Amino acid sequence: MLNLRGYTLALYCILHTVDASRIDLTATSIPNYVLDYAPLVWLHKEDPYMPSDIGQQLGHTTPQVNWKPIHGAPSPLTLNNLDSLNDLGNTSVFLTSIEGIDADPQPAWFRGVTPDENGQTKDAVTSTIIVREHGDNIVDAFYFYFNAYNQGNTVLGMEFGDHIGDWEHNMIRFENGTPKALWYSQHSNGQAFTYDATEKQDKRPLAYSAKGAHAVYATEGNHDHTIPHLNLPAGFLVDTTEKGILWDPVQNAYAYSYDDADGSFHPYDPAYPVSWLRFNGRWGDDALPGGPSLFGQPKYAAGPNGPQFKNLVRENVCPDKPCVVLPVRIWGTSR
């Protein structure tokens, strides 16, 4: 007999109408260049937290406000009804893990899906593409990467900044279908490079996902992010990247266009769910109260907002100003 969690997951699988293994963005109307130049991501081979299915995350969580389950929340919760939580708690809603962020041992779903030899996350939709047109033949294509769990940095022997749910991304700015520059998101900051400066496989730029933390960098190696907007090879808060496992996110991705006039998302395939993109809450637990902390920073932090909060409307390649687009791949200031 299925327990309640198993029953919820079974219902989710029945209601989940998109077969991840059959996604083919080339059969949609998404601009060809958005796929032709889509980043390939090198994952660290020792990262215990691989890319994760966006929808399956919901089956492992309970929507809560102030650590209390929301009365009247839809059950099962799916990518097709997630924005209904906006009426029940709006930005105060946290998709709280059933086992708890500090579960020991950690549940298997934290670990995600390891890409196969073709770069696919089999049976899991682990990425989404959002295309925003500026006009004048300028287009921004956002490539979002999802992980069920984020492992923070270790400082003075203590790990901090762990959280459920993790969204990182690249953005490519195109002019007349030609890639001009890329943004690499790194926690709450990032770096911008010209397309010509990026390392590539054929014409697809490469991104390097940090072990555990999943910030994306333009180079492999160590990356210190102690000082905002700096990326140095050594320091206090070091992310590590390497050419471990090559992931091709667009093989298992939903794709949408974004209309900033009314903030609406339009799927390139009508089967793709849309509601989840309008969810105003957090993709994880709230910060764990009373837990260990380092310099006021908790070991278990709050989960992140979703893609709509990642500055989809931006004037420059960077989400803030001033913006420096680096012409070479170096460690150093990002703006």
Three-state DSSP class for residue 22? helix
Is there a contact between 64 and 96 (Cβ–Cβ < 8 Å)?
Answer: yes
Confidence of residue 163 (pLDDT cuts 50, 70, 90): very high
pTM of the entire predicted model: 0.92
DSSP characters over 255-286: EEEEETTTTEEEESSTTS--GGGG--SBSSPP
Quick one: average pLDDT of 30-44? 98
Quick one: average pLDDT of 30-36? 98
pLDDT at 117: 97
Selection from 221, 236, 155, 228 nearest residue 186 by Cα? 228
pLDDT at 8: 47
pLDDT at 106: 97
Is there a contact between 164 and 303 (Cβ–Cβ < 8 Å)?
Answer: yes
Picking from 15-24, 243-252, 324-333, which range would have the lowest pLDDT averaged per residue? Answer: 15-24
pLDDT at 291: 65
Q: What is the DSSP letter of 317?
A: S
Q: What is the mean pLDDT of the chain?
A: 90
Structure token digits, residue 75: 């059950």
Q: How would you classify the pairing of strands 61-65 and 153-155?
A: unpaired
Cα 326 to Cα 116, 155, 242: the distances in Å are 33, 29, 21
Q: Rounded to an integer, what distance in angstroms lies between the CA atom of residue 139 and that of residue 31?
A: 10
pLDDT at 335: 34
Three-state DSSP class for residue 162? strand
Q: Rounded to an integer, what distance in angstroms lies between the CA atom of residue 84 and that of residue 275?
A: 8
pLDDT at 265: 98
Structure token digits, residue 146: 């999802």
pLDDT surpasses 80 at 159: no
Confidence of residue 161 (pLDDT cuts 50, 70, 90): confident
